[in-house]
Structure 1
Amino acid sequence: MIELRNVLKVYESAAGAFTALKSVNLQIARGEFVAIIGKSGSGKSTLINMITGIDRPSSGEVLVGDTALHTLSEGQMAVWRGRNLGIIFQFFQLLPALSIVENVMLPMDFCGMYTPRERRERAMMLLDQVGMADNAHKLPSAVSGGQQQRVAIARALANDPPVLIADEPTGNLDSKTADSVFRMFEQLANQGKTILMVTHDQDLARRVTRTVIIADGEVIDEYVARALPTLSEKQLIWASHNIETLSYPPGATIVHEGMPPENFYIITKGAVEIMLQQPGGSEIRVTTMGVGQYFGEIELLHGGRNLATIRAGTKTGVEVVALDRSEFTRLVTESPKTAQAIDQIAGERTAENLAARQVGEEVDHAAPPLA
């Protein structure tokens, strides 16, 4: 639904050039509910401005649906934006002199959508959907901040756009009202809307289907950031540039027991099964690992050959991002805290593997001989 290809944005000022986005590549599928997070000045607003067409890239391409935004004139952009985007602001941006229902009708008036009668009927239907129909004829100043944000959501839906952009939509709301507004976004995503939400609220960010992390004008891989939270922003950016995405069909072997280790893997989709070979030739399954977990770290940290066979889940298959041996070694060398955290996990898994192997051997020894 949304694609950015090598988007670079440089602002020129009296103080010199400032690069806000550095060759960003990003794809967002239709129906995804995506949170965009990052520190102030990281490039979040610039990224949103590229997608809404409020600003233009210095180079690169921005595509929403089948429209190349970077090729549109200002007039074409305004018409396209009115029909295809719903934008929800932190400070609501309702026109104070218009009633609530008139605010919701305004995008339909601007784009010439629906007949005048249909506009009012649709506006009332949307206000009813967000629980504000009883306040339709009041001015925005007569209702609370949470209620104004509900009106802003209704206004954003006026022309039934496929994409909603929400810039800190809960930033000025108390936690209960913010949760209520967020649940509305979840319902809209379930109805097929593609939603991008800029937020500083980590709790809300964990509830979306996907997180895009921006740091210093670059997109950081969310799985690397979650799996290795002790890395610095600079290290996360470097790792995100160097990971390789790999996919394995159900049952495919990723790591062979007894072979030299090659990569450090983080699971991004599906699951893997950890298998141990028994002296008699049978295999036992130690555990199953899922999204956000990593494997391959034990041998890369401590040397030696792979201690187990790891296969893609027999039902799901698996997608991973991988760093090769030299890249992994560089990261843990530069980040002692990361090395320590991974080593602790590695120790726990080694003990788990040894315990599982011991149990398996005891079962083999206890089994009656074959006739």
Structure 2
Amino acid sequence: MNKTALRTRPKTGPVQVADFAPESMIELRGVVKRFSNAAGEFTVLKGVDLTINRGEFVSIVGKSGSGKSTLLNMITGIDHPSDGLVVVNGTDIYTGVSESQRSNWRGKNLGIVFQFFQLLPMLTLLENVMLPMDYVDMYDFDERPTRAMDLLKLVGLEKFANKLPVLVSTGQQQLAAIARAMACDPPLLVADEPTGNLDSRSADTIIQLFELFVSQGKTIVMVTHDPSLTSRTNRNIIISDGELINETISRALPQLRHRHMLEFTRIAETRPLQPNEIIIQQGQPVDYFYIVSKGEVEMLVKDQVVSRLRTNEFFGEIELLQGGNSLTDVRAGNSPAELLTISRADFLRVIQESPITAEALLKIAQRKMEALKEDKLAAKP
């Protein structure tokens, strides 16, 4: 379908895009970002596809130089993609849009929280929170101080409203920055290492606020290095070398290094399954490592279901690691399902490079073997 043909208002600023699902807050399609310097051209983002739905709390992680800040800049409209489409809150924010138009759109549609707060030092906390309302001319002039104070109350800073940023703690400055980001009641909040300069107690306060906003229907995208924070988000998106790692792979094999996750992402093939479709028969060779990406699969002994595997669970590792043919029949459940498949050679090659993952998989395989022996005994007539 031609996306351009579905756009409206092509000459007056950000355009609406009609062919994305209404529940999507962020849609990136084939986003590429190239930079040039004296050493030549290099590509930071390499054809990123990403969908984030409304009301999700998403963390983005990756090593330094992986492209996560550049990805964030694509979403916020701070930088331009070299290729690809970026749609935020139903709006194409780059096609035929001037910087001033995009800046005005950004002020009304998203809030940004930076690691170093970016509060204006000559303004009080109250004035800092009012500033976005003044910039995009939202709310009546007389209403703005009241709204700003309500937001400072929400983050527990009403007693410091008339103080300059330098006179409050770093944690309080970040709380004020969050209040400022919510000044225009945006549907999307983007945070770049929002707790990077805070102690654990202040960081927990920030995350509790984010959880509150999500419960109210806001969408939050947060870049962080802190595993204790990623565990509290709905999704954890990993970027490595400018590419997104398949989320099923990262959830199924969290012990893998990012570069190995990325390698599996590149080589994994998708296999759709019809209800009750046979995947492996007992006694047959196992040539693939399988991860359930949708639906569920059943493992059977003598036509009796002994185990069900659901999304992000895997099978085939016992036979690949320990040798031998399939120990059970494996089939799709009663509904359509989908697998990610990785060949024996590729699986063993990557696992040999990751001793921690190999050890973890061997322990899982041993537990499955013990459970299977018990199931086989129970299945005997």
Q: TM-score, normalised by structure 1?
A: 0.86
Q: Does 1:220 align with 2:245?
A: yes
Residue 329 of structure 1 aligns with an amino acid whose one-letter code is A
2:46 to 13, 22, 28: 22
Q: Is the 8 A contact 2:29 2:85 kept in 1?
A: yes
Aligned-partner Cα distance in 2 for 1:329–1:195: 40
Which residue in the other structure is 2:348 paired with?
332
Task: Render the CA deviation track for 1:45-94: whole Å, top value 9, x for unaligned.
Answer: 10001111111011111111221122121111111110111000111111
Offset, 1:135: 1.6
- Cα 1:6/1:297, change in 2 over 3 Å: same
Report the Cα offset of residue 271 of structure 1: 5.3
Q: Alignment partner of 1:120: what SS?
A: helix
CA contact under 8 A between 2:300 and 2:328: conserved in structure 1?
no
- Does residue 77 of structure 1 match 2:98? no
Partner Cα separation in structure 1 for residue 133 and residue 28 of structure 2: 28
- Out of 175, 180, 198, the position equivalent to 1:173 is 198
Q: How many Å apart are 1:229 and its aligned residue?
A: 4.2
2:140 is the alignment partner of 1:107: no
Deviation, 1:339, is 4.7
Matched, 1:32 2:53: no
- What is the letter of the counterpart of residue 215 of structure 1? S
Q: Which of 305, 323, 327 matches 2:341?
A: 323
Kept in 1, the 8 Å contact 2:270–2:341? The answer is no
2:142 aligned partner, one-letter code: R
* Aligned partner of 1:242 among 255, 267, 271: 267
Q: 1:112 to 1:13 in 2, by over 3 A?
A: same
Structure 2: how far apart are the matches of 1:293 and 1:177?
36
Q: Deviations over 1:284-343 (max 9, x none)?
A: x4344455431232344424245143554x7xx68655114x2x4313124313455434
Q: Which of 313, 316, 322 is the matching residue for 1:293?
A: 313
SS in 1 for 2:94: helix
Question: What residue is the counterpart of 1:368 in the other structure?
Answer: none
**Per-residue displacement from partner, 1:163-212 (whole Å, max 9, x unpaired)?**
10000000111001101110111111111111100001011111100011
Query: Quick one: distance in 1 between partners of 2:227 and 2:50?
Result: 21
Q: Tell me the residue number matched to 1:49.
A: 73
For 1:2 and 1:256, the matched residues in 2 are separated by: 38
Checking the alignment, whether the CA contact within 8 Å between 2:124 and 2:162 is kept in structure 1 is yes
Aligned to 1:369: none
Does residue 309 (structure 1) correspond to residue 330 (structure 2)? The answer is yes
2:57 matched to 1:3? no
8 Å CA contact 1:38–1:213 kept in 2: the answer is yes
Q: What amino acid does structure 1 have at the position aligned with 2:82?
A: S
Contact in 2 for aligned 1:166/1:198 (Cα 8 Å): yes
Alignment of 1:356-367 (within 5 A): 356-361=375-380, 364=381
Structure 1: runs of 5+ lacking an equivalent:
365-371
Structure 1 residue 349 corresponds to structure 2 residue 368: yes
Task: Report the counterpart of residue 8 of structure 2 in structure 1.
Answer: none
Which of 219, 225, 229 does residue 200 from structure 1 map onto? 225
- Contact 2:271 2:341 survives alignment (8 Å): no
- SS of 1:335's equivalent in the other structure is helix
SS of the residue corresponding to residue 69 of structure 2 reads: helix
Amino acid at match of 2:368: R
Displacement, 1:96?
1.1
Residues paired across the two proteins, number: 351
Letter in 2 for 1:26: L
Q: What's the CA shift string for 1:117-151, capped at 9, x where partnerless?
A: 11112111111111112221111122111111111
For residues 254 and 125 of structure 1, the distance between their equivalents in structure 2, rounded to whole angstroms, comes to 60
- Counterpart AA for 2:376: R
Instruction: Return the TM-score normalized by structure 2.
Output: 0.84
Cα contact 1:34–1:195 (8 A) shared by 2:
yes
- Give the conservation status (yes or no) of the 8 Å contact 1:265–1:320: no
Distance 2:204 2:270 in 1: 34
CA pair 271-187 structure 1, distance change in 2 beyond 3 A: farther
- Cα separation, partners in 2 of 1:141 and 1:232, compared to 1, 3 Å: closer
* Kept in 1: contact 2:268–2:340 (CA 8 A): yes
- In structure 1, what residue type is equivalent to 2:372? N
**Secondary structure of residue in 2 paired with 1:138:** coil
Which residue identity lines up with residue 350 of structure 1 in the other structure? Answer: M
Q: Distance in 2 between matches of 1:194 and 1:186?
A: 10
- Structure 2 unaligned spans of 5+: 1-24
1:205-249 C-alpha deviation (Å, 9 max, x unpaired): 111000110111111123323433454444322211233456779
Give percent identity, aligned residues only.
Answer: 48
Aligned to 1:184: 209
